């Protein structure tokens, strides 16, 4: 299965700020530390995740072609159109009019789009009508209980 999208919309610059509690310290993957049991302040996730609201939009991913980079079916993708794309970036690109999410790379001196699933071969950009929609800056996916 390839990776397809549902365009969810743009970031609202007029939305009210939603600040959530921010715990001080770091989260350890071992035993908890009682010294870290306090709050540092508040964090607005929009301002933390989206530095360019007017150039940012959300997409919902569909498919498995980017699972090797942690982008799974149903993930919410945050895409920034203001970032100059370069090799190594994960892009949303229209290829011959169809949206895809792939990582930009090169073979020799030619640009290709690479999936993060061995079932999908690299896609050469030469010979296709290509339009970069933006750079994926974050993806958000749930961790349902009982999935570990």
Identify the CATH number of the domain in which residue 96 sits.
2.10.109.10
Tokens of 131: 């339009």
Whether 8 is in a domain gets the answer yes
Give the whole-angstrom CA distance, residue 143 versus residue 148. Answer: 9
Whether 128 is in a domain gets the answer yes
Whether 34 is in a domain gets the answer no
Q: Indicate which residues carry an active-site annotation.
A: 65, 102
Give the whole-angstrom CA distance, residue 59 versus residue 43. Answer: 23
Give how far the C-alpha of residue 1 lies from the chain's centroid of Cα atoms, to the nearest Å: 19
pLDDT in tens, the chain (148 residues): 455 556 666 666 666 665 555 555 555 566 555 554 555 677 778 888 888 888 888 999 999 999 999 999 999 999 999 999 999 999 999 999 999 999 999 999 999 999 999 999 999 999 999 999 999 999 999 888 776 5
Reference 20, options 1, 4, 44, 3; nearest CA is 44
Query: pTM for the complete prediction?
Result: 0.74
In this structure, are residues 7 and 81 in contact, taking their beta carbons and an 8 Å threshold?
Answer: no
Give the whole-angstrom CA distance, residue 99 versus residue 97. Answer: 7
Whether 116 is in a domain gets the answer yes
Tracing tokens 């949206």 back to the chain, one arrives at: 99
């Amino acid at each position: 299965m390839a990776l397809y999208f549902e365009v969810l919309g743009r970031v609202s610059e007029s939305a009210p700020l939603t600040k959530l509690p921010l715990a001080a310290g770091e989260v350890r993957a071992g035993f908890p530390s009682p010294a870290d049991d306090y709050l540092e302040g508040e964090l607005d996730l929009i301002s933390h995740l989206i530095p360019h609201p007017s150039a940012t939009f959300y997409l919902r991913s569909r498919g498995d072609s980017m699972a090797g980079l942690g982008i799974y079916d149903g993930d919410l993708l945050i895409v920034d159109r203001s970032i100059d794309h370069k090799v190594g970036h994960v892009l949303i690109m229209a290829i011959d009019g169809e949206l895809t999410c792939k990582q930009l790379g090169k073979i020799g001196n030619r640009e290709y789009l690479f999936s993060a699933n061995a079932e999908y071969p690299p896609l050469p950009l030469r010979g296709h009508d290509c339009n970069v929609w933006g750079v994926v800056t974050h993806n958000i996916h749930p961790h349902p209980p009982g999935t570990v």
